[in-house]
Chain A
Amino acid sequence: MSAPAGLPPRPAAAAFSPVGPGGSREAAAPAGGAAHCHNGPVQSQMQFPPGYGSHPPNYSAPSGHYSQVPNKAAASHLDHQYRASYYPGYYSAPAQNVMTPSVGSNVLNAQGSQQLYNKTPPHTGGASDGPVQGAISSASYLHMSAQQSYSAFDNHYSTSVSSSVASQGFPLNSDHYAMPVVSGAMYPSVSYPPAAAGSAYGQTFTSQSLPAVGQFKETNAFSSQSTSVPHSLQQHVPAGYNTTLSTISSAQSVQDNLCRNLPGSVAKVNNQIKTGGIDSSQPVHSVSQNVAFTKPGVGTSASSAVVSSVRSPAPSLSSQPSSSPSVTQSPELALQEGMQYGGYVNNQASSAPAPLSSSSDDEEEDEEDEEAALDSSSTTSSASPVLNNYDALEGGGYPDTRSVTSSPVPAPSVPQTSKASKPFGYGYPALQPGYQNATPTTPVQPSNPGHHPGFQHYPQHYPGVNQLSSSLGSLSLQHSQQPESLRPVNLTHDRNILPVSSVPAPVPNLNSDLRKLNCSPDSFRCTLTNIPQTQALLNKAKLPLGLLLHPFRDLTQLPVITSSTIVRCRSCRTYINPFVSFIDQRRWKCNLCYRVNDVPEEFMYNPLTRSYGEPHKRPEVQNSTVEFIASSDYMLRPPQPAVYLFVLDVSHNAVEAGYLTIVCQSLLENLDKLPGDSRTRIGFITFDSTVQFYNLQEGLSQPQMLIVSDIDDIFLPTPDSLLVNLHESKELIKDLLNALPNMFTNTRETHSALGPALQAAFKLMSPTGGRISVFQTQLPSLGAGLLHSREDPNQRSSTKVVQHLGPATDFYKKLALDCSGQQTAVDLFLLSSQYSDLASLACMSKYSAGCIYYYPSFHRTHNPAQAEKLQKDLKRYLTRKIGFEAVMRIRCTKGLSIHTFHGNFFVRSTDLLSLANVNPDAGFAVQMSIEESLTDTSLVCFQTALLYTSSKGERRIRVHTLCLPVVSSLADVYAGADVQAVVCLLANMAVDRSVSSSLADARDALVNAVVDSLAAYMSTASNLQQSMLIAPNSLKLFPLYILALLKQKAFRTGTSTRLDDRVYAMCQMKSQPLVHLMKMIHPNLYRIDKLTDESTIHVNDRVVPQPPLQKLSAEKLTREGAFLMDCGSIFYIWIGKNCDNSFIKDVLGYPNYASVPQKMTQLPEVDALSSERTRSFISWLRDSRPLSPVLQVIKDENPAKTDFFQHLIEDRTEAAFSYYEFLLNIQQQVCK
């Protein structure tokens, strides 16, 4: 994440510096700014990292972009062009058109940019611009000049990339924004091959299978499209490019010119860069160039212009770059970009031939085959596997594909770049080629949006850039601060604070090298990306300090390292990571405890480059997320096999609900996909008032049921044959699963002896450890652990005390601890229609590191939505990765200490979490305090090490390392606040508080968190008027999110909430990763009845529209529209009464509004454009998360509409404030 972010700022900075000088010519500014941008990324990294200081310039640069965007919007025909550029498919046909219009468009752009530019400096421009953009985004976003630029970016992004990406830009500086956005784009692209701009490029240029690859490496995409081609790249690549173009359009001649020109000028530039001597700078350069390319891709308008321009104006490139006239430049710029691109490609190609190909291949696989990839890598010998993985990383990096989804984290790309640049100032000559390939791709996109014009300047600036040392660049970056994230926002005034798409994670203010190396925010996030120096400062800021972890996230690319010695610090046992410093060839200094360690002999050899004596180039030191295959030191007993035990409720209630059929069916379907090896074992227990075991021993003709009715003293009838080898007894298991749903159809047994069944399960599992999946449908009523109903339905909407949030008995907690000691996790599926005391039952999962699923009012036929959800959850549950007998340790730099953990686990010693199972959907949070002042260090690091046994019986260690800067001023602390992480951590703390104290306390604490932090902020900013409610830009969403939390099921009062629902929401808050939790707290609302191609991204040959985010307020709902609400685990589609009939007909498949049924959970496949768009948008949203959400169509008179409306948290309800009232309330308290 951090890396991409890092890149963006630089561009801005670069833009700034160039602009500054050129400030006199405003008209020129846009173009110049853009040009600078190109240069900027490169330069900025090097020279002006601080770019922040130079906001205005940055803005101007973006404005240039901005202008382009509007232009596009204005000129309808442009759209075609854009599309053409974006989508390969379109590309061929429209290409010709593009060419002609492109010139015109360029002109338009130039003019537009000028206008915009003028407007922007005053900052008033935003509003006016907004309308221009119109389709692109709601005007609301554009308020600030800075925002304008952002919005422009956003628009680009949103169009080309995923919506989520765009939002990122807001919180940070414009530069930063741009960067993160880009990165975000990158990621999505990776995961969703077509999504990112990069991919678009790749497609446009070459429609080959590269999608994923292309995204990662923009430049690579060109060359890489030519994955097969790669090595000969420099000349070939351009050639290839041209050829593709030529085939596409008739303007071959132009292309030729371009090609020639490009190779000439661009190549020179590139060459300079390469030769420049500064290794770090090179990657940057490449990046910048890439940026230029990407921009076109990203910004639809921009891209189209670029593409077209490139072909025709090619010749101009060489001449213009230096002069960089403002108006005329735009087309030229585009050309230049194109040229650069070509040049860039060449460079990259030359530099990074081999690695690219490997990485690209890996990436392509991305979606489904993580495990496979991992396994394969692991199996290979130490050197080779590392290489593969490593390469993959370089190319695609971390592809956070699935999990990342909405939250765009630039980090993955960063690490790659960092590799190239090196944190420690080492030049890595050998590696660079590979790195360059990797780096250029990602960074490029981000920088592009703002920087199109930059290219012209580029040549001029370039030498200077080269001269700058990377260290200087880093220094400047560090000084740079200030930024957009501190821009005061008047909350009561600015109603539209939501970003266009999702909210990005802030990027730590590190130097570019570190930023690139840093861990992806999806895996590892800190509430404060600038760590305060002392506890006193932290207390002043009134913000919680903590980490949010998603350590076992599905990653498509992960370097796996097999080596006999795992290098760790001798005193604190920290794993070697990218943030350690090498004192010399033989010694390294731990970044957590500062001990100096020896580098072992084996570590001197770098399997990646097959060279000796470069320990700093080892993959462990090049990636902040790595996985080691542990040696036998790490295990005392042989790794356990995968063991799964299913404990099923078969009482009357359960049979009535009909869940057995679904469970058995899902199991049958996924039996072969259960993670495991040849030793995998499986078993079944059913229970009602007795406990039934199933003998599945191989050789039996059919499964044997053994009933134990002595539930007070449960025993195992035949301990050996109840858990059987999955492969040996597969037929018997299948027989059983087929028979099970019908075996109990006539049962009259209403009691449920859950406790005894669990005891039996524990006994069965204790020799091996493994996973117990419990399906329960009612309150346990017999034997140990029986529970009584504690809920008083009349108290459901009480505003006073909510009781019974804690367990009624410690039976389940004790059982969970026993299970945890035996490395057994208990997962609970609660499918009940009435109160089942989840507060007590959940303990069995909470302390054994299991997970909890709850399906209120589950019924297979009466509640198809829940049934479908169960089905989907089960599919994911059964097939997802699993790690057994895991432990997780979180280490942090001396001076910091971790004091509270949140999640499902058992704390074994103060920093060691015991996780019987770990699953990819589990998130954790920790709270930290600063015990010693951090004045003598400028960086702090956190390292999470997760040691687990894979389902294949390998002991593995997954290590994430996060590096953050230390700051000494309060303003910096606020600038680095990560509002989403803060809110998630507060939610976790509030859950604890409501259990240990009371719900009212927890609610007060939440409100106080906002009041205190805003008051503290306002007291630091002396120039602010006290009568207004001001928040720093980084925290502008804070009150909104807190209000959303207060209206969340877990914490709301006054609205009827069933106790189990409330407890379940609390369990989710504790155990969900941030991305998912944020959707739960603050769902995304989109208007989908008028999806256009205005801002679309291209994923897997599908066009995915990117509607802007809407406020969660009924004022946004119109009767004429249809809206989609994305709550993470469920999608609501709300249809207005007067919704366009054609929409209903095309998308829903019904002739009119009245005929739409009440319970509709699927969209029909209608052959219409709007249907296609809607479905592709929804499936795109779905693909971005592990759990496939259920869809529910809601009409106005539907009883389910309360489910929908309860999420409109900005509105007033009988029991709760509207957002505005809430703000006033806060303001009142702040002013007190």
Chain B
Amino acid sequence: MAFTFAAFCYMLSLVLCAALIFFAIWHIIAFDELRTDFKSPIDQCNPAHARERLRNIERICFLLRKLVLPEYSIHSLFCIMFLCAQEWLTLGLNVPLLFYHLWRYFRCPADSSELAYDPPAVMNADTLSYCQKEAWCKLAFYLLSFFYYLYCMIYTLVSS
């Protein structure tokens, strides 16, 4: 029974993982909001509603963009911590997602200046469904890893 660095890492990641789960859930809700306009069809056709809706979309996209960096950095923090704690198995489980994040972040569409979640682009049903799938997958991954971290934390605390 000892409080090792590894145990600390798992405890911290447990907390942060909860945050990531929240992010993922928020993403799912946001994409759902983007996908469907909850107004009645007649209202949708109303020009006044158009402005409101557009503002909504822009706000959501703005928030989405804001959340990209925190999420990615939290996850890379995990990886660094597990690297330091020499938790190879846990690191191995997280590395694919790390690379995916890197790819997502650095893949600039041609030479446009902005990041992902550009309103006109994200409103494309194709992109939207991709993003939504991605969010669901991440949610699943974070949930599973949450319990895995919990197990590992207890295991390291107990075993050592």
Instruction: List residues of chain A with CB under 8 Å of any chain B CB.
Output: 573, 633-637, 640, 769, 803-810, 813, 817, 820-823, 846-847, 885, 887, 889, 897-901, 906-912, 914, 927, 947, 949, 995-998
Q: Please tell me if B6 contacts chain A, counting CB pairs below 8 Å.
A: no
Stretch at the interface among B8-16, B87-95, B118-126, B146-154: B118-126
Cβ–Cβ < 8 Å partners of A634 in chain B: 42, 45-46
Cβ–Cβ < 8 Å partners of B113 in chain A: 807-810
Name the contact of A908 in the complex, choosing from B41, B53, B114 (C-beta under 8 A). B53
When the two chains form their complex, are residues B48 and A636 in contact, meaning their CB atoms are under 8 A apart? yes
When the two chains form their complex, are residues A821 and B54 in contact, meaning their CB atoms are under 8 A apart? yes
Stretch at the interface among B18-26, B66-74, B104-112, B135-143: B104-112
| A953 to B45 Cα, complex, angstroms | 16
Cβ–Cβ < 8 Å partners of B41 in chain A: 573, 889
When the two chains form their complex, are residues B45 and A947 in contact, meaning their CB atoms are under 8 A apart? yes
- Identify 27 residue pairs between A and B in the complex whose beta-carbon atoms are under 8 Å apart, listed by A's number: A573-B41, A636-B46, A637-B47, A810-B112, A810-B114, A813-B118, A813-B120, A817-B54, A817-B58, A817-B120, A820-B50, A823-B50, A887-B44, A887-B45, A898-B125, A900-B126, A901-B125, A907-B120, A908-B44, A908-B57, A910-B36, A910-B128, A914-B50, A914-B54, A947-B45, A949-B47, A998-B110
| A907 to B127 Cα, complex, angstroms | 12
Cβ–Cβ < 8 Å partners of B37 in chain A: 908-909, 912
Q: Known contacts A908-B50, A910-B36, A996-B109: does B57 contact A900 (CB below 8 Å)?
A: no
Known: A805-B110, A808-B111. 13 other contacts (CB 8 A): A573-B41, A813-B120, A817-B120, A820-B54, A887-B45, A898-B125, A899-B126, A906-B119, A906-B123, A907-B125, A910-B35, A927-B126, A995-B109
Cβ–Cβ < 8 Å partners of A804 in chain B: 111
Q: Please tell me if B133 contacts chain A, counting CB pairs below 8 Å.
A: no
Q: Known contacts A806-B111, A817-B120, A995-B109: does B54 contact A906 (CB below 8 Å)?
A: yes
**Beta-carbon nearest neighbor of B42 in chain A:** A633
- The distance from the CB of B144 to the nearest CB of chain A, in whole angstroms, is 28
| A810 to B116 Cα, complex, angstroms | 13
Instruction: List residues of chain B with CB under 8 Å of any chain A CB.
Output: 34-37, 41-51, 53-55, 57-58, 109-114, 118-120, 123-126, 128-129
**Beta-carbon nearest neighbor of A900 in chain B:** B126
| Majority-rule SS of B interface residues | helix
**Beta-carbon nearest neighbor of B109 in chain A:** A996
When the two chains form their complex, are residues A636 and B112 in contact, meaning their CB atoms are under 8 A apart? no
- The distance from the CB of B55 to the nearest CB of chain A, in whole angstroms, is 7
| A425 to B15 Cα, complex, angstroms | 68
| Majority-rule SS of A interface residues | mixed
- The distance from the CB of A684 to the nearest CB of chain B, in whole angstroms, is 25
- The distance from the CB of A767 to the nearest CB of chain B, in whole angstroms, is 12
**Beta-carbon nearest neighbor of B61 in chain A:** A817
- The distance from the CB of B64 to the nearest CB of chain A, in whole angstroms, is 15
Max count, chain A CB within 10 A of own CB: residue among B54, B110, B123: B110
Cβ–Cβ < 8 Å partners of B112 in chain A: 806-807, 810
| A322 to B41 Cα, complex, angstroms | 60
Q: Known contacts A810-B114, A907-B123, A910-B125: does B54 contact A640 (CB below 8 Å)?
A: no
| A997 to B112 Cα, complex, angstroms | 11
| A425 to B124 Cα, complex, angstroms | 41
| A901 to B41 Cα, complex, angstroms | 20
- The distance from the CB of B104 to the nearest CB of chain A, in whole angstroms, is 14
Q: Known contacts A633-B42, A907-B120: does B47 contact A823 (CB below 8 Å)?
A: yes
- The distance from the CB of A639 to the nearest CB of chain B, in whole angstroms, is 9
Cβ–Cβ < 8 Å partners of A810 in chain B: 112-114, 118
Q: A-B pairs with the 6 shortest C-beta distances? A: A909-B37, A821-B54, A907-B123, A806-B110, A806-B112, A885-B47
- The distance from the CB of A371 to the nearest CB of chain B, in whole angstroms, is 22
| A171 to B120 Cα, complex, angstroms | 38
**Beta-carbon nearest neighbor of B35 in chain A:** A910
Q: Known contacts A907-B120, A909-B37: does B47 contact A995 (CB below 8 Å)?
A: no
Cβ–Cβ < 8 Å partners of A898 in chain B: 125
Cβ–Cβ < 8 Å partners of A635 in chain B: 46-47
**Beta-carbon nearest neighbor of A807 in chain B:** B112
When the two chains form their complex, are residues A908 and B54 in contact, meaning their CB atoms are under 8 A apart? yes
**Beta-carbon nearest neighbor of B128 in chain A:** A910
**Beta-carbon nearest neighbor of A908 in chain B:** B53
Cβ–Cβ < 8 Å partners of A887 in chain B: 44-45, 50
